[in-house]
Amino acid sequence: MIENNPLQLQIVINKLLELAYQENNIKTIVKKSLNIILNSPISSSISNKGIIFITEDNSKLRLIAEKNIEKEIATSCRKVDFSECVCGMAAHTKQVQFTSCITHLHKKISKTKNHGHYSIPILYNETVYGVLTLYLNPNHVKNKFEIETLQTITKTLGLIIYKKRLAKFARFNRTKLDVSFGQKYFNTLAKFLTKEIGMKYCVIGSYNKQENTITTYTFTQNNKVLKNITYHLEGTPCNNVFDAAYCFYPQNIQQLFPTDKYLEQLGAESYFAMPLINEKKVRIGIVAMLGDKPIGNELEKKEILNVFIP
């Protein structure tokens, strides 16, 4: 067991890092990582059964990898809301969840052998990238060393996923955007950002300082391009962007800016934006994201936009 031989933990970490060096696809990395973890001698009480979820839309977990899991569980747990079941609670609280047997928290399980769980959030910079759930023998006693070991492993996996996501954005910038021009460029970028940042609307527009307006180059709803608009900045969250490096309002955006009619029409709940700045350091436009639910992961969202906005 790793508890009796700490060198074994380093071997697991090295295998994960080597895998990250060899692979670029996040799903492939996650699937192979699960095998590495389950094949490591963490504890004799941890069975050779487990699941790895990846976060989706900042509110759900999607099952990406599973090993030796009953078909019913693999099907019913294909998607799990944050705070739903033990796995969702791990994502919602950003804390390790432990059960020694099946409890009322296991809402998606009806017929399965009794077992316990460790559900460990996969974190980097307080951003939840997924959850690792390992099956335990029934009546397993919670073990501090096991938890610390698994947290070391999931922190490594979180770092790997974070780095691969940034690399993915950089590749998109080089391949998709470099061959796009004009309107197609902005449409392609906006649709990509709504998907990857997990917000419903994206506005990319130019700033008219004299009239204090934004005229959009593109205005998208998820993967749909909407009609371009011109709007006045007074009373809008966009007005604050030109006095800051970026603006982040995780919730209650309509209450904060009650005179902004577009926020109400779009059903906006959250807002995140950065200014477009030219080579003379003049603010010439804006990239703004609007969501219909509360958001988190402020640092990650800022870093994603920084890939595309120098």
Q: Which residues are bridge partners to 81 per DSSP?
A: 60
pLDDT at 179 (0 to 100): 44
Length of the chain (residues): 310
Select from 221, 252, 219, 249 the least CA-distant residue to 237: 249
User: Looking at the predicted structure, is the pLDDT value of residue 239 above 70?
Assistant: yes
Q: pLDDT by residue (tens digit) across 221-230?
A: 998 999 999 9
The percent of residues above 90 in pLDDT, for the chain, comes to 46
Higher pLDDT among residues 61 and 109, named by residue:
61
Are residues 24 and 164 in contact, defined by beta-carbon separation less than 8 angstroms? yes
User: Looking at the predicted structure, is the pLDDT value of residue 310 above 80?
Assistant: no
pLDDT at 177 (0 to 100): 45
Give the Cα separation of 218 and 95 in Å (integer): 39
pLDDT (mean) for 118-127 = 90
Q: pLDDT by residue (tens digit) across 14-28?
A: 999 999 989 889 999
Give this prediction's pTM. 0.67
Q: What is the dihedral of CA 33, 116, 113, 91, to 10 degrees?
A: -60
User: Which of 24-28, 63-67, 70-74, 284-288 shows the lowest per-residue confidence on average (mean pLDDT)?
Assistant: 70-74
The percent of residues above 70 in pLDDT, for the chain, comes to 89
User: Which of 20-34, 110-124, 162-176 shows the lowest per-residue confidence on average (mean pLDDT)?
Assistant: 162-176
pLDDT at 100 (0 to 100): 78
Q: Phi and psi for 57 in degrees, rounded to 5?
A: 60, 25
- Mark 171-188 as b/e (b = at least 16 C-beta within 10 Å): ebeeeebeeeeeeebbbb
| Secondary structure (DSSP) of the chain | -GGG-THHHHHHHHHHHHHHHH---HHHHHHHHHHHHHTS-S-TTEEEEEEEEEEETTTEEEEEEEES--HHHHHHTSEEETTSHHHHHHHHHTS-EEESS--TT-TT-SS----EEEEEEEEETTEEEEEEEEEE-TTPPP-HHHHHHHHHHHHHHHHHHHHHHHHHHHHHIIIIITT--HHHHHHHHHHHHHHHHT-SEEEEEEEETTTTEEEEEEEEETTEEPPP-EEE-TTSTHHHHTTSS-EEE-S-HHHHSTT-HHHHHHT--EEEEEEEE-TTS-EEEEEEEEESS----HHHHHHHHHHH--
Q: pLDDT by residue (tens digit) across 80-94?
A: 888 788 899 999 999
The confidence band for 169, taking pLDDT boundaries of 50, 70 and 90, is confident
Domains and their CATH numbers in the chain = 2-167 (3.30.450.40), 179-308 (3.30.450.40)
Give the Cα separation of 2 and 122 in Å (integer): 20
* Direct distance between the N- and C-terminal alpha carbons of the chain, in angstroms, rounded to an integer: 48
Average pLDDT, the chain: 85
Establish how many alpha carbons lie within 13 A of residue 284's alpha carbon, considering only the half-sphere containing its beta carbon. 8
